[in-house]
Amino acid sequence: MPIARSKLLVLQVLVAVFAIIFWHIVTNYPVFSDVKTMKFFFSTPIDVFTRVIRMFADGSVYKHLWITLVETILAFVIGASLGIVIGFWFARKPLVAAVFDPYVKMMNALPRVVLAPIFALWFGLGIWSKVWLGVTLVFFIVFFNVYQGVREVPQVVLANARMLGMNERQLLRHVYWPAALAWVFSSLHTSVGFAVVGAVVGEYLGSAAGLGYLIHQAEGVFDVTGVFAGMVILMMFVMLIDAIVTVIEKPLLVWKPGETRTV
Amino acid sequence: MTKAVELAGVSVAYGLAGGGRYEAVQPVDLSVRDGEFVALLGPTGCGKSTLLNIAAGLMPPSSGQCDIFGQKLSGLNAKAGYLFQQDALMPWKTAQDNVAIGLEVTGVSRAEALARTQVMLTKVGLGAFGDRYPHQLSGGQRKRVALAQVLIREPKILLMDEPFGPLDAQTRLIMSELLLDLWQQDRKAVMFVTHDLDEAIALSDRVVVMSAGPKSRFIGEFEVNLPRPRDIAEVRSEPAFHRLHADIWSCLREEVRKTYGLAGKGAA
C-alpha cells in the first residue's frame, strides 16, 4: 500500500526530533553519567547547532566547502572520464581485458585509504592529492559499469542495428555509447558519493583546508562540538550534491523502464 | 522470375566443446522468387531461424552458398530487412528516432528522415506515438515500430523470425493483417519463419516444412493457392485452407512429436 507523502514526511521528521531530544536529555541531565562528562564526549545539540550557525554567519566555512566541492567535482570528472574511456577500450578488446584482468582486480582490492599518504607525498598537501584519491575510487565504479554496459548490449539489438546498415562507428555512437552511459548514470549517486569520500578522507589525513580538515582540526583539540558541527555540515553538503545529481539524471534516464513516474 | 534468395546446399554444423560436431541442418536448397511470400514451418529448434540468419548474412553457412539476386552473399545482406522475434528496438531512442536512424545512417538528412518516418509510422498506425520510448509502448506497438524500422529502408527482401510470436492471439491477427496489407501494396520477397501452421498458410504463397532437429531437412513443400488479397480472418474458413491445413499437419505432426520425444507412441 502506498504511504501518503505528507504522512511519510511527518514520520521521518519525528525520527529526527526524537533522536535530538534524546541527545539533548542525556547531555543536559544526569541520566547515564554526570552532565560534564557527557557534554565532553557528546557535546549538546544546541551547542552544535549554534556552532554551525556561527560558522556560516562569520563565513569561515565557505572556504572549506568550496575546496571540498572543487576536489569532489575534479575527482568525479577525471575518474568518470578515465573509467568511460578504459571501460570502453577493455569491452571492445577482449585480449586487453584478459591481460589486465588480474591487475584491475588487485588494484580494486586495495583499500584506497592506504594510498592517501603516498598521494600526499607525490602530489603535495594541496587539492590534487585529494583529487587523485577520489579518482581511484570513482574510476573503478564507472569503469566496471561501462565495461558491463558495453558487453551486455543485447545481441538482438546489436544484430538489428547492423541489419539497419550501421557501420562500426555508427554502432559505437548509437548503440554502445548510450548503453554505456545508461550504466554510468545508474551508478551516478554511488560514484559522486565516492568522490566526496575521497576528498574528505584525503583532507582528513593531511591538508590545510576542506571539510575533512575542519573535522580533523577539531578532533586535535578535543573540540567535540566542532567535530559534530563539521559532520553536520558534511552531511548537508552530501545531501545537497545528491539532490543535484537527482535533478541532473532525471531527463537523462527518461527512456529507462521504471524511471518515469506519474505524480 | 528472378530469384531473390537462393540457398544452395546450405548446411549448418557446430563444433562441440568436447570435440565432435553437432549437425543442426543438413544440406538444403531453397529459393524465394522476387515478390514471393515463403513460410518456413517447423517444430521448435529445427534450425529455421538459423537459415534466416544465413540469408541475412548474420552467420555464414557451414557449407553451400547463399545467393541474393544472383550474387553470392558475403557479409551482411544489405538488400534485406530483418524483423526479429525479440524486442530489437534501441530502448534509448524514441519510436521516431528508432525508425529514422535507418535512413540517417545512409546519409539522408535528419529533416527528411523525420518526415518519411512520420509517413511510415502513420502507415503502421502509430502516427501519434513517435515521441514514445519503447518501454512506454505495448508489445504490439513495439512490433509496429520494428516493422516501420525495417520497411522504411525499402528492403527488397523481408526476413521475419517468428515476428509475432511473443504477442497475444488477437494482436497477432491484427499484426498479420497489417503485414499482408503493407506487403500487398509493395510486394517484396519474404522469408517468414514460424511454428504456427495457421499463420503460415494464411500469409504465404508457399509453405516449406522442416523436420525436427538435429540434422533437420526439408520434408515437404506446399503451394498455397488461396486468392489474394486475402482477409486473414475469412481465409481460415475456406475449404482450400482446411485441406492444406490437414495435408501440412500430417507432414508436420510426426516431427513435432519427435521434438517432445513422443515419436511413434500411439495416435496424436
Tens-binned pLDDT, residue by residue, of chain A (263 aa): 677 889 999 999 999 999 999 999 999 998 888 888 888 999 999 999 999 999 999 998 999 999 999 999 999 999 999 999 999 999 989 899 999 999 999 999 999 888 888 999 999 888 999 999 999 999 999 999 999 889 889 999 999 999 999 998 999 999 999 888 888 887 888 899 999 999 999 999 888 899 999 999 999 999 999 999 999 999 999 999 989 988 888 888 788 876 444 43
The reply to whether residue B84 touches residue A156, judged by beta carbons under 8 angstroms, is yes
Q: B162 with B73, same domain?
A: yes
- For residue A83, report the phi and psi dihedrals to the nearest 5 degrees: -60, -40
pLDDT for the residue A226: 93
- Give the gap in angstroms from C-alpha B238 to the nearest C-alpha of chain A: 37
B138 part of a folded domain = yes
Q: B73 with B159, same domain?
A: yes
Taking the Cβ of residue B72 and every Cβ of chain A, the question of whether any pair is shorter than 8 Å is answered with no
Q: B20 with B68, same domain?
A: yes
- Which chain A residue has the Cα nearest residue B99? A164
Taking the Cβ of residue B56 and every Cβ of chain A, the question of whether any pair is shorter than 8 Å is answered with yes
pLDDT for the residue B1: 65
Residues of chain A in Cβ contact (below 8 Å) with chain B: 154, 156-157, 159-167, 170, 174-175, 178-179, 182, 254-258, 260
Q: B70 Cβ partners below 8 Å, 6+ apart?
A: B2, B3, B6
Q: What's the rounded Cα separation, in Å, for the pair A123 and B231? A: 77
B264 part of a folded domain = no
Cα dihedral sign for A26, A31, A32, A33?
Answer: positive
Q: B59 with B18, same domain?
A: yes
Q: B216 with B95, same domain?
A: no
Probe site for chain B from A150, A153, A163, A183 (most B CB atoms < 10 A): A163
- What is the extent of the structural domain holding B100? 87-154
- Give the gap in angstroms from C-alpha A255 to the nearest C-alpha of chain B: 5
End position of a domain, from candidates B98, B127, B154: B154
Q: B119 with B239, same domain?
A: no
Which residues from A are below 8 Å from B84, CB to CB?
156, 159-160
B268 part of a folded domain = no
Centre a 10 Å sphere on the Cβ of residue B188 and count the other Cβ atoms it contains.
Answer: 20
And the C-alpha cell for A79?
A: 575518474
- Give the gap in angstroms from C-alpha A8 to the nearest C-alpha of chain B: 29
B267 part of a folded domain = no
- Provide the CA A212 distance to its chain's centre, in angstroms: 14
Taking the Cβ of residue B84 and every Cβ of chain A, the question of whether any pair is shorter than 8 Å is answered with yes
The reply to whether residue B93 touches residue A256, judged by beta carbons under 8 angstroms, is no
pLDDT, tens digit only, all 268 positions of chain B: 688 999 999 998 888 877 778 888 888 899 999 999 999 998 877 788 889 999 999 999 999 999 999 889 888 999 999 999 999 999 999 999 999 999 999 999 999 999 999 999 998 999 999 999 999 999 899 999 999 999 999 999 999 999 888 888 888 888 899 999 999 998 999 999 998 899 999 999 999 999 887 888 888 899 998 888 888 888 888 899 999 999 999 888 888 887 777 665 544 4
B132 part of a folded domain = yes
pLDDT for the residue A260: 46
Q: B22 with B139, same domain?
A: no
Q: How are beta strands B37-41 and B157-161 bridged, if at all?
A: unpaired
And the C-alpha cell for A232?
A: 553536520
pLDDT for the residue B260: 77
Among residues A117, A80, A78, the alpha carbon closest in space to that of A202 is found at A117
The tens digit of pLDDT for each residue in B200-248 reads 999 999 999 998 878 888 888 999 988 888 888 888 888 999 999 999 9
End position of a domain, from candidates B111, B137, B154: B154
User: Counting every residue, how long is chain A?
Assistant: 263
The tens digit of pLDDT for each residue in B126-141 reads 999 999 999 999 989 9
Domains contained in chain B, number: 2
B265 part of a folded domain = no
Taking the Cβ of residue B86 and every Cβ of chain A, the question of whether any pair is shorter than 8 Å is answered with yes
pTM of the model: 0.80
And the C-alpha cell for A157?
A: 539489438
Among residues B179, B200, B169, the alpha carbon closest in space to that of B48 is found at B200
Which residues from B are below 8 Å from A180, CB to CB?
none
- Provide the CA A156 distance to its chain's centre, in angstroms: 35
Q: What's the rounded Cα separation, in Å, for the pair B37 and B187? A: 9
Which residues from A are below 8 Å from B147, CB to CB?
none
Q: B9 with B32, same domain?
A: yes
Which residues from A are below 8 Å from B133, CB to CB?
254-255
Q: B165 with B72, same domain?
A: yes
pLDDT for the residue B15: 80
pLDDT for the residue B268: 43
Alpha-helical segments (H) within chain B: 48-56, 95-104, 110-123, 139-151, 169-185, 197-203, 232-235, 239-259
Q: B219 with B93, same domain?
A: no
B44 part of a folded domain = yes
Q: What's the rounded Cα separation, in Å, for the pair B215 and B23? A: 5
Q: What's the rounded Cα separation, in Å, for the pair A250 and A58? A: 36
Q: Which long-range contacts (CB under 8 A, 24 or more apart) does A60-69 make?
A: A61/A214, A61/A233, A63/A209, A64/A209, A64/A210, A64/A211, A64/A213, A64/A214, A65/A211, A65/A233, A65/A237, A67/A127, A67/A203, A67/A209, A67/A210, A68/A196, A68/A199, A68/A200, A68/A203, A68/A210, A68/A211, A68/A212, A68/A237, A69/A237
Q: B159 with B65, same domain?
A: yes
The reply to whether residue A156 touches residue B88, judged by beta carbons under 8 angstroms, is yes
Taking the Cβ of residue B108 and every Cβ of chain A, the question of whether any pair is shorter than 8 Å is answered with no
pLDDT for the residue A261: 44
End-to-end CA distance of chain B: 41
The reply to whether residue B82 touches residue A159, judged by beta carbons under 8 angstroms, is yes
Q: B170 with B216, same domain?
A: yes
Q: Are A233 and A69 in contact (CB under 8 A)?
A: no
Q: What's the rounded Cα separation, in Å, for the pair B45 and B206? A: 21
B232 part of a folded domain = yes
Q: Are B55 and B82 in contact (CB under 8 A)?
A: no
Rounded to 5°, angle at Cα A158 from A157 and A159: 95
End position of a domain, from candidates B154, B184, B208: B154
- Give the gap in angstroms from C-alpha A185 to the nearest C-alpha of chain B: 13
